[in-house]
A = this chain, B = another copy of it.
Amino acid sequence: MNLPAVACAADHAIQAQPLRVDGARLWQSLMELAQIGATPKGGVCRLALTDLDRQARDRFVQWAGAAGCSVRIDAIGNVFARRAGRRNDLPPVMTGSHLDTQPTGGKFDGNYGVLAGLEVVRCLNDARLTTDAPIEVAVWTNEEGSRFVPVMMGSGVFAGAFSLDHALAQRDTQGCSVAQALRDIGYAGETVPAVPPRAYFEAHIEQGPVLETHRCTIGAVQGALGQRWYDLVVSGSEAHAGPTPMDQRHDALLAASELTLAVNRIAIEHAPHARGTVGYLDVFPNSRNVIPGRVRLSADLRAADDATLLAMDAALRRACAEVATAHAVSVDIQPVVYFAPQPFAPELVATVRAAALALGHTAMDVVSGAGHDAVYLARVAPTAMIFVPCAGGISHNEIEAAEPAHLEAGCNVLLRAMLDCAGVVD
């Protein structure tokens, strides 16, 4: 990965702090927040900018106010809860995540990052500890993208990935715009320039199985994989499955199956961090005794660096051409999404790793295969993420689960890393 310069370093050495977060309080807040939009199966349905989202935001604002924070809302509805430092002219050390969920989401995705930040503030309050730079906890609007696209909307506007006007103009399937939804829930804030933080950390459940497989508590996230998404259409000829000899077919599903295997093979050939997935596949006419005439499928390629991602792109295009010839069909390939690989700041990743080890936790370097608000923040500020395990690597699912001890450990790492960047007043 190409790594950005880092603005923040351990200029204020942390003493061997005995400071620890209150894991029980963190868990209690998570469980309380999970009541807002709770589903019968134990998950959470709290789509962005709905009244349930408002309730969760209101609860956070109330908690942050009670913890002595000043709260500011920006024009895309991002919430910033600020705990003053000694030098409030300095950019803050920021943490955060999101409170919106998938339709059948869990209790921890996003919510953990927000409440871990709140717990850091509460912990500093308990210890009557003043940081040099201020601390901020951010709630980013519409990370999930379930109701409005683009995903990671609030952090994307903050980082200048797309414009505020573009985001405000997006509409849900009912025709309601983001601007209207923000007004409806009372979170259309002020248009102010986004000031990049001194450093940004985000604690998150891993949403994958790597930490659990390695029996490791803390993942120091080196960066996020780049993504290239494609729509493929295979066009053959429908024909009756009985009378059509095998050598006179133009079977679109057979060709699509070859492409599905190719996408998998391409990822394996670009190990260790590459991914290749066909998640969507639609067959026409989809009748058991008709040779399929047309198949639409997706391809999702991910890699840690652009050179690898481009090599995978070329391999996929070669596979399309070869499969088209071999199966006497046509294959159309359309790129639909490109996210650049996003390395995190190596010094901050090292800070996370060192904090985990100093606290006595097992830790390993990992990559983020998924997008997070931190990926946009990394465009404008030194950034790192802290992953903790989730059961079975399962997320975006009502059965999403995480161990209280792991959540507490990740929050302690966050505390230590933020103090490291913010500086502790002696």
Contact = CB atoms under 8 A, between A and B. Distances in A.
Interface string A233-245: 0000011111111
Given A209-B248, A248-B213, A243 B287 contact: no
Interface of A: 206-210, 213, 225, 227, 229, 238-246, 248, 251, 253-254, 256-258, 260-261, 264, 267-268, 271-272, 274-283, 286-292, 298, 300, 302, 368-371, 393-397
Nearest to A299: B288
Nearest to A248: B209
A277 B246 CA distance: 9
Query: Which 7 interchain pairs have the tightest Cβ spacing?
Result: A208-B243, A242-B369, A257-B257, A288-B298, A241-B277, A243-B369, A242-B370
A260 B254 contact: yes
Contacts of A238: 397
Nearest to A278: B253
Contacts of A258: 257, 261
Query: Which of A241, A268, A298 is packed against the most chain B CB atoms within 10 Å?
Result: A241
A244 B393 contact: yes
Nearest to A230: B288
15 contacts: A229-B288, A238-B397, A240-B393, A241-B275, A243-B370, A244-B369, A246-B267, A246-B275, A256-B257, A257-B261, A258-B261, A279-B292, A281-B281, A288-B300, A290-B396
Contacts of A243: 206-210, 368-370, 393, 395
A257 to B, nearest CB: 4
A368 B209 CA distance: 52
Contacts of A254: 260-261, 264, 278
Contacts of A279: 241, 253, 283, 286-292
A253 B260 contact: yes
A397 B272 CA distance: 49
A256 B264 CA distance: 13
A302 B243 CA distance: 10
A253 B267 contact: no
B289 A277 contact: yes
B275 A244 contact: yes
Nearest to A302: B242
A370 B241 CA distance: 8
Nearest to A280: B288
A207 B240 contact: yes
Contacts of A260: 253-254, 257
Nearest to A300: B241
A253 B280 CA distance: 9
A239 B393 contact: yes
Contacts of A371: 242
Given A241-B277, A264-B251, A282 B291 contact: no
